[in-house]
Amino acid sequence: MSDAKLQNVLSSLSQAAKQLDALPSGRPSPDANYVKLNTNENPFPLPTIVWQSAIAALERQYLYPEDDNISLREAAANAYGIATDHVIAGNGSSELLGLIYRAFLAPGDRVAMLSPGFSFNRKLAMLQGAQLLEIRCNEPQSLPIEQLLSGPTKDAKFILLANPNNPTGTFIPIADIERLLAQSDRLVVLDEAYVDFAPDNGLRLLNNYPNLLLLRTLSKSYAAAGVRVGFGFGHPQLIGRLRNIQNVFNMNVIGHAVGISILAHRAVYEENHRHIRHERQRVATALSQLGFSLTPSHANFLLARVPAGHDGRWWQAALERQRILVAFLPDNGLENYIRVSIGTKTQMDAFLGAVSDISDSLKLGRSPVEHR
């Protein structure tokens, strides 16, 4: 296509799309020699009984998946003790978050989110022509209710809360969230992607507050990130409208089968969750001894402030040279932090060993060497 033709095509894009740069082709995924601790995945295999459900689903690959995800929604309703018409199922909870933006926001609208938060919300708001108000919280383990109800946020169409929060891992008491729901007539979207690692959850609030939409996923605590299964819970008048704008056959037969099986066998994952909590504490203690400052976490990751002298980007690169992948999140004002997913004991030992080696090299005035 000639330059003139390309420019003509690009000029026809929507205003929102024009603001986006074209994505480059990207880089290959890391090979098995890397320890991948940068995307908060749960590293354990599916239990045998769940794995068998996925294999059986492949025998139906020639059929479209069930319309409206009805069996999966029924399974979630049974698992969480709510009615089926209170449930929407999605291709991960990120699909459902996108539906909420489409359903509730028009150009010029506002939406409020605690900061630092899930950066993908910036793109979702921009695509709707809306403004994302990021509210800094001085006390990250309490909810700034007055800030969310007054000032620039008082006209926000909905308020986004992640509990536990990503990328900090902090947890807000459910009583604080209930006070916000009681005092506001706006929609509150409560993202509980990491809640199985936390001390409490907001599910009991659904019966009393029709302005609550609660999101869950099987990606984090149920080790199914690659299968893409998420849920939204809320009043049928909200949920039914979201289902009505959802893409036809939005999920596949394997996602249906694995989701139903996981929900029927959640007890099998209790040891998995205990391991994550134990390793989270062990790694936090070890990092503290190596000069890092840790944010108390109730998720399957740790946010660590790196020792003085180098920023988070430097530590991310130094660890990658040791074939350890961690996250660096400068867009959230976290230039001096790295975020570390909690993996297997072997993975965390490798991570701590690399951090210790790098720290020793710095003390001796040497550059960290590449792992071979």
pLDDT tens-digit map of 68-121? 999 999 999 999 999 999 999 999 999 999 999 999 999 999 999 998 888 899
- On the question of pLDDT at 128 being above 60, the answer is yes
Architecture of domain 48-264: 3-Layer(aba) Sandwich (3.40)
- Counting residues of the chain whose pLDDT is more than 90, the rounded percentage is 79
Measured CA to CA in angstroms, residue 348 lies from 40, 185, 258, 325 at distances of 13, 45, 28, 11
Which residue in 165, 100, 101 sits closest to 137, CA to CA?
165
* Average confidence (pLDDT) over 270-288: 97
* Whether the model pTM is above 0.85: yes
Domain spanning 28-45+269-362: CATH 3.90.1150.10 = yes
pLDDT on residue 17: 76
Q: So what's the pLDDT on residue 151?
A: 85
Using an 8 Å Cβ cutoff, are 133 and 111 in contact? Answer: yes
The region, left, alpha or beta by phi > 0 then psi within -120 to 50, assigned to residue 268 is alpha
**Could you report the per-residue pLDDT of 210-228, keeping only the tens digit for each?**
999 999 999 999 999 999 9
- pLDDT (0 to 100) of residue 368: 64
State the pLDDT confidence band at 372, using cuts at 50, 70 and 90: very low
pLDDT value at 146 more than 70: yes
pLDDT in tens, 21-65: 776 766 666 777 899 999 999 999 999 999 999 999 999 899 999
Q: Is the pLDDT of residue 163 over 50?
A: yes
Is the alpha carbon torsion for 221, 243, 17, 160 positive or negative?
A: negative
**Number of C-beta neighbours around residue 106 at 10 A:** 9
Is residue 8 over pLDDT 80?
no
Q: Which of 56-70, 135-149, 236-250, 301-315 has the lowest mean pLDDT?
A: 135-149
Domains 28-45+269-362 and 48-264 agree in fold: no
Judged by DSSP in three states, 277 sits in helix
Tens digits of residue pLDDT in 318-364: 999 999 999 999 977 899 999 999 999 999 999 999 999 999 998 88
Domain map (residue ranges) of the chain: 28-45+269-362, 48-264
Diameter of the chain by CA atoms? 64
Q: In terms of DSSP H, where are the helices of 165-311?
A: 174-183, 236-244, 253-264, 270-289
Give percent above pLDDT 70 in the chain: 95
Query: Is the confidence at residue 7, as pLDDT, over 70?
Result: yes
- Segment 293-302 shows an average pLDDT of 96
